[in-house]
Amino acid sequence: MGEGGGDRPGDIAQYRQLRINAHLLKPVQQDELLETIYRVMSGANGDSQFATTSTARQNGVNGALSSLRVLAAEDNEFNAQLLELLLTRQGHQVQIARNGIDALKLASEADFDLLLLDIHMPEMDGFQVVKAIRERESDTGQHLPVIALTARSRKEDREVCLAAGMDDFLVKPLRAADLQIAMSRLVTAESPGESDKLSREQSDHGVLDCKMLLSICGGDRQVLAKISESFRSHLPLQLKLAGDALRENNSPRLREAAHRLSGMVAAFSTIAGTVTSQLEELAAADRLEECRPIFEQLEELARELLRQLDGISIEALQRQAATSGG
C-alpha cells in the first residue's frame, strides 16, 4: 500500500513490473479495501490491472455484463442470502421472491433483465411459474431469460427444465463463476449449449469441500464470513425440524425439512449434500425406517462440518484445498 499524497512518477509501471494486481493509498477505507480484495481474488479486473472498483464490478465476464435487474426466486433463506450476496457483489440489483406466486407477481409488475428460478418452491413450483410467464409472453412478444436452479445435476433434469421453457440450468450450490458465466451467456444472447459446469467432482478428502466453498464465495472473505455465520445459525434449527418430523413419522414434513437442509449443506460439503438428498428421496417414498440411519449419519456429518468451519478463512481453505489435491 502506498502512503497518502498520491503515487510517485513511475510507481504504476513498477507495480505492473512486479505483477502487483492492485494498490491502495493509506489511510485505507474499509469498504475500499474489501472491494479491492474482492476484485483481485475474483479476477474481475477487466482489461486493466488497475481498473477502478466500480468499473470492475460493472464489467462482469469479459467486460460484457453491465449491472442487471435480477429477480431471484428462492424459498430457502440461506440460499437467498447467498444469491443476494453474490449478485450485489457483482454490481447487480436484486429482488428476492420467497415463493412461486410472489415470483410470478413481481415478474409481471416490474421490468427485470433475468429471473433465477428455484424449481422446488411453495405455492407454485418453478415449472408452473415459467409456464405462466411464457404463456403471457406469447401475447406480448417479450422474453424474460430464466435460469433454473436445482440441487439435481442429472442430464435428464436439465433437459426437462429446458423443455419447460427455461433458458439455462445451474446446479446448487451455486458457484460465483458459474453464475456469472450463465448470466453473461443469456444476456448477450449466446446459445446455452452443453455446459461442463454441471458435473461436480466428488470430494474424498473430508467433510468440508474446500474447493467448492472457495468457488461459491468467489474468494471473497466477507462473503465467506457471512454465509458461514448464516449456516451456523440456521443448521441446528433445520436439523431439529427434520429430527422432529422423523420421530413423529411425518414423511411430508421430513421431506420438506430434508429439502431445505440439502440447499444449505451442499454449499459446504459434497458428502453431506449427497446424504441429505438421499434422506429427501427416502422421505418422499415414505421409507421412514431407512431414513433413521441416514439422519444419524447426517447429524454426525453436520457436527464435523461445524467443527471444521470454526474460524475458517480464505487462506485456510486454500491451504486445505491444495493439501487435499482439491
pLDDT of residue 21: 58
**CB contact at 8 A, 317 and 214:** yes
Q: What is the model's pLDDT at position 45? A: 35
What distance, in Å, lies between the first and last C-alpha atoms of the chain?
Answer: 32
pTM of the model: 0.50
Q: Where in the chain is the domain with CATH 1.20.120?
A: 210-324
**pLDDT the model gives residue 277:** 84
CATH architecture of 64-198: 3-Layer(aba) Sandwich (3.40)
pLDDT in tens, the chain (326 residues): 554 444 454 555 555 556 565 666 655 554 455 445 544 444 433 333 223 223 333 333 333 457 899 999 998 888 888 888 888 888 899 999 999 999 999 999 988 999 999 988 888 899 999 999 999 988 888 889 999 998 776 767 777 888 888 988 888 877 777 787 778 777 754 333 333 332 333 333 468 888 888 888 888 888 888 888 989 999 999 999 999 999 999 999 999 999 889 878 888 888 888 888 889 888 998 999 999 999 998 998 899 899 888 888 898 888 887 776 54
pLDDT at 194: 34
pLDDT of residue 5: 46
Task: Determine contact, residues 86/179, Cβ cutoff 8 Å.
Answer: yes
Domain with CATH 3.40.50.2300 in the chain: 64-198
- Between 1.10.760, 3.90.320, 1.20.120, 3.30.870, what CATH number should domain 210-324 receive? 1.20.120
Amino acid 57: pLDDT: 33
DSSP letters spanning 114-166: EEEEESS-SSS-HHHHHHHHHHHHHHH-----EEEEES---HHHHHHHHHTT-
